[in-house]
């Protein structure tokens, strides 16, 4: 009679299973961290792009020649056209959104519609109609306080375009800050900071 050879059916040991579970756990943690960082980066891209757009609006407004309406007498000459920065705009929204989005109000004299041809958002010819994660501001000769390592200004004629955010809605609030400066130099030219200054991008 022929003897049948038995083969051992060996399974995984407990140690091997624990190693596999640990590896899967580490990979899952890395994936979660990566997804969170990707989502935060996508949100902060809104702030970077918007601050850039506000800055471009400020430059365009400065480059436009402005002159006062005058009635001239015969043989009279009007005042020379001038270049000037837009006056400050009210921050939109009034408070920094905490972990959510804010829908701008597009009614006249509200949010990005508030101002005149020489003041605020209409002067910058800037508006947003879609929900936003950040509070946006444009200050003439003023800045968000307590920033570190932001470029210094040497004169009194400058502006700051910026965004404040609190994406994780922490308490007390710690804000992410995005700003870009522009300054009128001694030659009357508007000089911009090379890039957006960022503090605590992901808080």
Q: pLDDT tens-digit profile of 66-76?
A: 666 767 778 77
Answer yes or no: is pLDDT of 12 > 80.
no
In a domain, 113, yes or no: yes
Helix H, strand E, coil C: the string for the chain is CCCCCCCCCCCCCHHHHHHHHHHHHHHHHHHHHHHHHHHHHHHHHHHHHHHHHHHHHHHHHHHCCECCCCCCCCCCCCCCCECCCCECEEEECCCCCECCCECCCCCCCCHHHCECCCEHHHHHCCCCCCCECCEEEEEECCCCCCCCCCCCCCCCCEEEEEEEEECCCCCCCCCEEEEEEEEECCCCCEEECCCCEEECCCC
In a domain, 183, yes or no: yes
In a domain, 51, yes or no: yes
In a domain, 28, yes or no: no
| pTM over the 0.75 mark | yes
Which of 4-8, 15-19, 39-43 has maximum average pLDDT? 15-19
Answer yes or no: is pLDDT of 41 > 80.
no
Predicted confidence band of residue 4 (pLDDT cuts 50, 70, 90): low
Residue 56 is part of which domain span?
34-65+83-199
Answer yes or no: is pLDDT of 186 > 80.
yes
What's the mean per-residue pLDDT of the chain? 86
* Mean pLDDT value across residues 170-188: 92
Confidence (pLDDT) at 91: 96
Predicted confidence band of residue 2 (pLDDT cuts 50, 70, 90): low
In a domain, 48, yes or no: yes
In a domain, 54, yes or no: yes
In a domain, 24, yes or no: no
Least confident of 22-26, 47-51, 97-101, 133-137: 22-26
Confidence (pLDDT) at 122: 95
Confidence (pLDDT) at 68: 66
In a domain, 76, yes or no: no
Confidence (pLDDT) at 193: 92
Answer yes or no: is pLDDT of 57 > 80.
yes
Total domain count, the chain: 1
Answer yes or no: is pLDDT of 81 > 70.
no
Confidence (pLDDT) at 153: 86
């Amino acid at each position: 009679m022929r003897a049948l050879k038995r083969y051992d059916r060996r399974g995984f040991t407990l140690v091997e299973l624990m190693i596999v579970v640990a590896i899967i756990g580490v990979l899952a943690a890395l994936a979660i961290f990566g997804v969170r960082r990707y989502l935060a980066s996508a949100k902060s891209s809104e702030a970077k792009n918007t601050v850039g757009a506000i800055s471009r609006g400020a430059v365009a407004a400065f480059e436009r020649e402005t002159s006062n309406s005058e009635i001239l007498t015969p043989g009279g000459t009007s005042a020379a056209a001038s270049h000037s920065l837009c006056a400050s705009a009210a921050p939109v929204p009034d408070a920094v959104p905490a972990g959510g989005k804010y829908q701008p109000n597009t009614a006249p004299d509200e949010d990005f519609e508030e101002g005149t041809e020489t003041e605020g958002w209409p002067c910058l010819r800037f508006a947003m109609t879609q929900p936003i994660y950040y509070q946006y501001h444009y200050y003439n000769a003023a800045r968000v306080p307590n920033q570190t390592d932001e470029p210094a200004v040497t004169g009194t004629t400058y502006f700051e375009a910026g965004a404040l955010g609190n994406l994780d809605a922490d308490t007390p609030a710690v804000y992410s800050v995005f700003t870009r400066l522009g300054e009128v130099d001694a030659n009357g030219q508007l000089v911009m900071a090379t890039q957006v200054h960022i503090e605590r991008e992901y808080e």
